Amino acid sequence: MSSLSRDDVAKLAGLARIEMTEAELVELSSQFGMILDAVARVQEMDLSGVKATSHPQPLENIARPDVVQPSLSPEDALSGAPAQEESRFRVPQILGEAE
Amino acid sequence: MALPTYDEVVAKWDPVLGLEVHVELNTNSKMFCSCATEFGAAPNTQTCPVCLALPGALPVVNEKAIESTILIGLALNCKIAPYSRFARKNYFYPDMPKNFQISQYDEPICFDGYVDVEIETEEGPKQFRIEIERVHMEEDTGKSLHVGGATGRIHGADYSLLDYNRAGIPLVEIVTKIVPGTGKYAPEVAKAYVAELRDILRGLKVSDVKMEQGSLRCDANVSLKPIGSDVLGTRSETKNVNSLRSVERAIRGEMIRHAELLNDGKKVKQETRHFQEDTGLTRSGRSKEQAEDYRYFPDPDLVPVTPAAAWIEELRATLPERPSLRRKRLKEEWSVPDKEMAAMINADVLDIVEATVLLGADPTKARTWWLGEISRIANEKELPIAELSITPAHVAELVELVAKGELTDKLARQVVEGVVAGEGTPSEVVAKRGIKVVNDDGALMAAIEKVCAEQAETAEKVRGGHLPAAGALIGAVMKETKGQADAARVRELLLGHLGVN
């Protein structure tokens, strides 16, 4: 059976910016194990010659011409913003990241 | 311990480079939506549900961006992948509203290429081959403005303001393999590489390649190893390098900084550093280890890109002449001395001079105007030469007017001034300002007689056969006629007037 350690789950939660309690971390680590096992059954099949897929439809080369269409007005663009200033989205201070 | 000098550094250490160049494509619309891409537009006027990541919005790739990226790959001697995909690079940072950037991961569209660059050394020109690892497509991020704090930087800022006009502009990343063996020339090789890349991209017409506006940006990875060693040292990655000169300075500065640490028995930290344009030094940014867990996976909203082989060959057939070959050709065609050629490349006037010559101007004259008077005005105004309102057509016209004797060089300079001031074409400036060569012998004779009367003593010397003294009189006549006279004609008339030949 696959397993994910409590620390693995804590790291994933951190990367996804999800706050979790200690109890949730422990509970999820066993649940993740079961999920991984379920998905791992795919490996039991003979997949030689089957291309990895990332889209449900067998489509390729869907593109659009390089033509400009009207954008939203800045008022509309900002209408859902929790805070704004000078026609810009205002976000809390960003620490410990790149400049 | 004192900072080692650059010579001391390269006597002991061997630099290894890695360069990542980001190029904003000059498409009309964004990478995955149809918003405009105009530089400098008012904040958040070029956004839509896709680039703002509103729920349910779906990206569709810009076909011109794919074409441009393939052209870049071909120009850099890359192979073009018959099948490649987009991937999500996940990170939380407000410059991307989706909380991921669409990029390419293990399936870049172009790979395995090279660029040859040449630099001038004490031992003559030297060639280096820079190998290209990959060229891939992605999207640019929004612009943050940090408010509060003393410095306008992130540290100490109270909050940040985001403009998403730039978010989603097509971006191409060009990554080199590690570049060994450049030794003491490392900074110059890197600069020459970025310059060559810029010229190639400009030739392809796929980007504005304006480093000062950020449409071409370079991240420089540098590490040092002891000379003769095969073991790579720890690298630092310097971002924010926004001019060709800065590429050179940043690498030189990092080599010295690394050597100082290593000489002291300390370790170089693997981290991102930020180049400071004012001091030429770098400042520590985030440390790399924490930052590199992007959990890439294929973007399920986009389908694979599978360019047809025939289309790739069609594009290959349209590739323009390689810039390095073009420079060699122009140098020969125009018979330009090495030094002048280097000056033109340095001043970035090659394109503009060529355009002028193609309009019929003499190559030497065209070069002299652009490198001389016009460069001087550009420097004075602190503007790139291309942003002055004078064009190759204006200069070609000017050269013709001088050749026909309708303007003297001195008058032509006044005309240039007028064209730059937006007074119109050279002919229009000539008409408006009433500039003309005084070819009226009567008017010239009047001036000559006046000058000879005022400077009777000098005139007497000339009359006595002391010809060098004539220069002062000719100068005075030119002044009298406000530079509008043809100096050769003045000399002829003056000497005739004074009875000498």
Average pLDDT, chain A: 88
Q: Identify whether the C-beta of residue B47 lies closer than 8 Å to the C-beta of residue B165.
A: yes
Q: Would you call A99 and B154 a contact, using CB atoms and an 8 Å cutoff?
A: yes
* Distance separating alpha carbons of residues A70 and B53, to the nearest angstrom: 17
Residue A64 contacts B, CB cutoff 8 Å = yes
CA distances from B233 to B16, B44, B230 (A): 8, 44, 9
The domains located in chain A, with CATH, are 1-42 (1.10.20)
Contact residues, chain B, for A88 at CB < 8 Å? 43-44, 145, 161-163
What φ, ψ does residue A95 adopt, rounded to 5°? -115, 155
pLDDT reported for residue B1:
56
Asked if residue A3 has pLDDT above 50, the reply is yes
pLDDT reported for residue B12:
95
Of B35, B54, B63, nearest to A64 by CB-CB distance is B63
ipTM of this complex > 0.90? no
Which candidate in A12, A93, A95 is best for mutational testing of the B interface (most B CBs within 10 A)?
Answer: A93
pLDDT reported for residue B153:
61
- What are the respective helix, strand and coil percentages of chain A, to the nearest 5? 40, 10, 55
Of B63, B94, B163, nearest to A94 by CB-CB distance is B94
Domain boundaries, chain B: 6-294, 321-433, 441-497
Of A66, A74, A91, nearest to B160 by CB-CB distance is A91
- Of B56, B286, B43, the C-alpha closest to B167 is B43
Asked if residue A51 has pLDDT above 70, the reply is yes
CA distances from B80 to B18, B23, B76, B376, B476 (A): 22, 18, 11, 44, 69
Which candidate in A51, A61, A71, A91 is best for mutational testing of the B interface (most B CBs within 10 A)?
Answer: A71
pLDDT reported for residue B149:
67
Smallest CA–CA distance, residue B118 to chain A, in Å, is 34
CA angle (B82, B311, B106) in 5-degree steps: 25
The pTM for the full model equals: 0.79
- Of B238, B291, B236, B243, the C-alpha closest to B261 is B236
User: Which residue positions in chain B have pLDDT lower than 50?
Assistant: 288-289
pLDDT reported for residue B289:
45
Q: Give Cα B306 to chain centroid, integer Å.
A: 33
Task: For residue range B405-443, list pLDDT tens digits in order.
Answer: 888 888 899 899 999 999 999 999 988 888 877 767 778
CATH topology assigned to domain B441-497? Arc Repressor Mutant, subunit A (1.10.10)
pLDDT reported for residue B339:
85
Residue A82 contacts B, CB cutoff 8 Å = no
pLDDT reported for residue B410:
82
pLDDT reported for residue B459:
87
